[in-house]
Amino acid sequence: MRRLVAQTRLDPAELVLPVFVRDGIGEPTPIASMPGVVQHTEQSLLVAAREAVDAGVGGIMVFGVPREGDKDATGSCGLRADGILNRALRALRDDLGDGTVLMSDLCLDEFTDHGHCGVLADDGSVDNDATLAVYAEMAVAQAAAGAHVVGPSGMMDGQVRVVREALDDAGHQDVSVLAYTAKYASAAYGPFREAVGSSLQGDRRTYQQDPANRTESLRELRLDLAEGADLVMVKPALPYLDVLSDVAEVADMPVAAYQVSGEYAMIEAAAAQGWVDRDRMVLETLTSIRRAGAQLVLTYYAVHAARLLHSGAR
């Protein structure tokens, strides 16, 4: 009876698996703060991607981790066709074709020696407009490498418009833009910094949203919709379910949410202590994100959750 009348249902096709691929390693490298998640080699990434496809997961979001010596002030490694992210995208597209939705992180933080999401001005602040020019070039490079969806995540003003125009001008009209519409300056990103080998100096509060504020997310949403976003996203997910609900009520296009590294790490830590039932927590948290209005969820549990759902777990 509970199954019959359930108002919110999970399906593996609604889940997106974020993955990390690191240049210059010979075997997958565990991420200490994210038990069960690794930095992939280019070869192991293909295996993990096939596993996700076989489990019915709807998409894969790829993050590149360059060699430390390849980082510079402008993140140029992220634009190069032979850079780790674009190599990985090309290999995945060649292997999987259109068998899954291939997404790419469009940001500079992994590739800059200062760890910020954009190019810095002389005073050390992020130069919004100079960054937009780099994002435009990066978007075209990722589309050429095979991405179906690019995700500009840096929270620069005007980033969706610039990326959309650059893609269209380069003949990539069918490549979609996933707008990081409401990305908050959250403490929950800590494990992710380890995952991408972040070199961040300072913080990102000047360009990410204030956790105390709610209504500005709708302003960001209106801007992203006007600039040509194809999908919009709230990040993190669980601490911002109210924002997610607000966005879902207004948006007339697919809404995503990202269950970020800190959310994953908290479940894993509590489960390791025997304080919570891991599988039940996974499905409950994902269901709550769907219930709040997300049509798709980026989660490191994507494959695990898909297998639970296939087994009939609820």
Taking only the tens place, the pLDDT of each residue in 52-99 is 999 999 999 999 999 988 999 999 999 999 999 999 999 999 999 999
- For range 98-127, the mean pLDDT: 91
> Which has the minimum average pLDDT: 51-55, 176-180, 236-240, 309-313?
309-313
Confidence of residue 114 (pLDDT cuts 50, 70, 90): confident
Does 26 score more than 70 pLDDT? yes
What's the CATH architecture for 8-310?
Alpha-Beta Barrel (3.20)
- What pLDDT does 3 receive? 86
Instruction: Please identify every residue annotated as catalytic.
Output: 183, 235
- What pLDDT does 199 receive? 67
Map out the domains of the chain as residue ranges.
8-310
Segment 208-224, tens digit of pLDDT: 889 999 999 999 999 99
- For range 177-195, the mean pLDDT: 90
- For range 174-200, the mean pLDDT: 87
Q: What is the DSSP string of the chain?
A: -HHHH-S----GGGEEEEEEEETT-SS-EE-TTSTT-EEEPHHHHHHHHHHHHHTT--EEEEEEE--GGG-BTT-GGGT-TTSHHHHHHHHHHHHHTTSSEEEEEE-STTTBSS--SS-B-TTSSB-HHHHHHHHHHHHHHHHHHT-SEEEE-S--TTHHHHHHHHHHHTT-TTSEEEEEEEEB--GGGHHHHHHTT----S--TTTSBPTT--THHHHHHHHHHHHT-SEEEEESSGGGHHHHHHHHHH-SS-EEEEE-HHHHHHHHHHHHTTSS-HHHHHHHHHHHHHHTT-SEEEETTHHHHHHHHHTT--
pTM for this entry: 0.95
Does 281 score more than 70 pLDDT? yes
Summary mean pLDDT of the chain: 94
- What pLDDT does 192 receive? 81
